[in-house]
Amino acid sequence: MSLPHAILTALLEKPSSGLELTRRFDKSIGYFWSATHQQIYRELGKLEADGLIRALPAEQPARGQKKSYEVLPAGRAELERWTSATQDPKPMRDTLLLRLRAAAVVGTAGIEADLRRHLELHERQLTEYREIERRDFPPGRDSPQDRLHHLILRAGIDLETFWTRWLAHALEEFAALPDGRAADTGDAGDAGVTDGAASNGGAGTTPPR
């Protein structure tokens, strides 16, 4: 859906080979649009076939390529079109929140460790973003590009800040819970299977019909 446009952007910023793109995706654009090298190679092929990019002329004969690509005018036009077109936000999908919801009915045993792990991952990411900010956006730099790139980085920083705070809060909440077991899973055989309904009683984000 958007991978071709991510690639066009990256190539406009700097013509690159598949591998270079892969590296740059790992470092930068990939922070908000991840892609594997296989996806990138496949997409480069399509973009070339569609006449949006072309291989830079190089003098190696064939195999073991290191082919570099650059964007053609048609590619830039397509990127411009796509960037300014109205697009609806994709509906959200978050596994962790879903698991928490499941834990509310099935018990919180076991999930806490993973919450803690996620907290650490987000802290690490946050640190990395802050490092980038310190390095690439010292006060004073404020060309339009700088401002936009900084704005994007700020989104990353703020999102990671949100997650670290929220996860920390969640863990506190867990500590205050009766014990490892959040749900009253009054495991009464087949009755237990449907107990969530009874104990729901208007609680949660599921309003009673």
CA angle 129, 84, 155 (to 5 degrees): 15
Q: Helices 144-176 & 111-136, crossing angle to 10 degrees?
A: 160
Spatial distance between the Cα atoms of 168 and 94, rounded to a whole number of angstroms:
17
Interface pick for DNA out of 44, 52, 115, 167 (rule CB under 7 A)? 44
Contact partner, 17, from DNA, its own copies, none, Cβ < 5-8 Å per class: DNA
Contact partner, 64, from its own copies, DNA, none, Cβ < 5-8 Å per class: DNA
Spatial distance between the Cα atoms of 166 and 161, rounded to a whole number of angstroms:
8
Contact partner, 65, from its own copies, DNA, none, Cβ < 5-8 Å per class: DNA
User: Using CB under 8 A as the criterion, what x/- string covers residues 2-31 for binding its own copies?
Assistant: x--xx-xx-xxxxx--------x--xxxxx
Total residues interacting with its own copies, rule: CB under 8 A: 112
Say whether residue 17 binds DNA (CB under 7 A). yes
Stretch that binds its own copies, among 37-45, 59-67, 184-192 (CB under 8 A): 184-192
Say whether residue 182 binds its own copies (CB under 8 A). yes
Burial class (CB in 10 A: 0-12, 13-18, 19+), 100: middle
Nearby residues of 14 by Cβ (< 8 Å), 6 or more positions away: 24
Total residues interacting with DNA, rule: CB under 7 A: 28
Q: Least separation, in Å, of the C-beta of 72 and DNA?
A: 18
Q: Least separation, in Å, of the C-beta of 95 and DNA?
A: 9
Interface pick for DNA out of 49, 63, 73, 175 (rule CB under 7 A)? 63
Residues belonging to the chain: 209
Say whether residue 65 binds DNA (CB under 7 A). yes
Spatial distance between the Cα atoms of 166 and 90, rounded to a whole number of angstroms:
22
Spatial distance between the Cα atoms of 12 and 70, rounded to a whole number of angstroms:
7
Contact partner, 124, from its own copies, DNA, none, Cβ < 5-8 Å per class: none
CA angle 87, 85, 83 (to 5 degrees): 100
Say whether residue 41 binds DNA (CB under 7 A). yes
Interface pick for DNA out of 7, 8, 11, 18 (rule CB under 7 A)? 18
